[in-house]
Structure 1
Amino acid sequence: MRRARGFSLLEVIAAILLLAVAFAALLQVAGASLHLADRSGQISKADMWAQAKLDALGVTDRLVAGESDGDFSKDYRWHLRITPWQDDDPPQGSPLTLYRVDLDVRWGSPRRPQVIHYTTLRAVDESVASAGSTK
């Protein structure tokens, strides 16, 4: 008596089902990877815009206490708050004044915006700043 060669219908169905489950899991992982790559790109852009804004403070933009807003592009917006740094024991005779700089970069939908917050201190030489403003 010869035995039949090949796979039974049940084995073929089980193999197809296993492939379908593996393919669905692979698609989900690929989709999550694309989402994370897109988010990483958005964060990199926000970081680039923030670094450019912070670099301009005190060079092309005056460092003055207060708040201001603006747009980097149609998708990225910023909010800047500059406040004098309160030092409990300031050095005597120093012409430097410290300012706390808070910068928020926002993007995404208005209902659910993405936000990155940056905080830094900047020193301003008041003797140079006041001499430059009298010219």
Structure 2
Amino acid sequence: MTRQRGFTLIEVIAAFALMALALTLCLSVASRAYRQVAWSDANARAVLWAQSLADEALAQPLAIGVQEGETPDHVFRWRREVAAWVDPSGAVIAHGESTGLLEISMQVSWLDGEATRSFSTRTLRLPSPKLVTGATP
């Protein structure tokens, strides 16, 4: 009598269970990696948008006040606030003086699923000779 060689049903089920477990772990890691890449992409785009707002502010006379808007693709909303810089000692330097500084605060926000994410930055700038005292549309 010859003995047949092969796998038993329990061995086949155990092999499928191990493969299912390994596949579940791999998909879980891939899903987390995808979310991390998407989060990093949104953050990088927000930083670039804030940088472009800062560059735009350097190229034109600044208006004291608040300007808001959104990107052309309606993904990011931005807010830029220009104010006279307040010295850490508490003294306000008048924006009309040539030695006065302007503080530019920029915030970019976007929706990430159901959560609102944001990036903000501040910088200082010397006022241009053609300083406008009201916000422009």
Which band: TM-score by shorter chain? 0.7 to 0.9
- Pair 1:95-2:94 in alignment: no
Distance verdict in 2 for CA 1:109–1:44, change over 3 Å:
closer
- Pair 1:52-2:52 in alignment: yes
Could you report, residue by residue, the CA deviation over 1:79-102 in whole angstroms, capped at 9, with x for unpaired residues? 111121122379xxx822212211
Work out the CA distance in 2 between the residues paired with 1:109 and 1:32: 15
Work out the CA distance in 2 between the residues paired with 1:40 and 1:109: 11
2:111 to 105, 108, 111: 108
Work out the CA distance in 2 between the residues paired with 1:25 and 1:63: 53
Q: TM-score, normalised by structure 1?
A: 0.77
Distance verdict in 2 for CA 1:22–1:109, change over 3 Å:
closer
1:121 to 124, 133, 136: 124
- Residue type of the alignment partner of 1:50: A
What is the percent sequence identity of the aligned residues? Answer: 29
What are the within-5 Å matches in structure 2 for residues 24-35 of structure 1?
A: 24-35=24-35
Q: TM-score, normalised by structure 2?
A: 0.76
Unmatched tracts of structure 2, length 5 or more: 132-137
- Residue type of the alignment partner of 1:112: A
SS at match of 1:18: helix
Work out the CA distance in 2 between the residues paired with 1:121 and 1:104: 15
SS at match of 2:102: strand
Greater helix proportion: 1
Q: Which has the higher contact order (CA 8 A, sep 6+)?
A: 2
User: 1:113 Cα shift?
Assistant: 2.1
Work out the CA distance in 2 between the residues paired with 1:81 and 1:55: 14
Work out the CA distance in 2 between the residues paired with 1:23 and 1:81: 50
SS at match of 1:108: strand
SS at match of 1:96: coil
**Match of 1:9?**
9
For the aligned residue pairs, the C-alpha RMSD in angstroms reads 2.7
**Match of 1:86?**
86
> Mean alpha-carbon deviation: is it higher for 106-115 or for 37-46?
106-115
Work out the CA distance in 2 between the residues paired with 1:129 and 1:57: 13
- Pair 1:70-2:47 in alignment: no
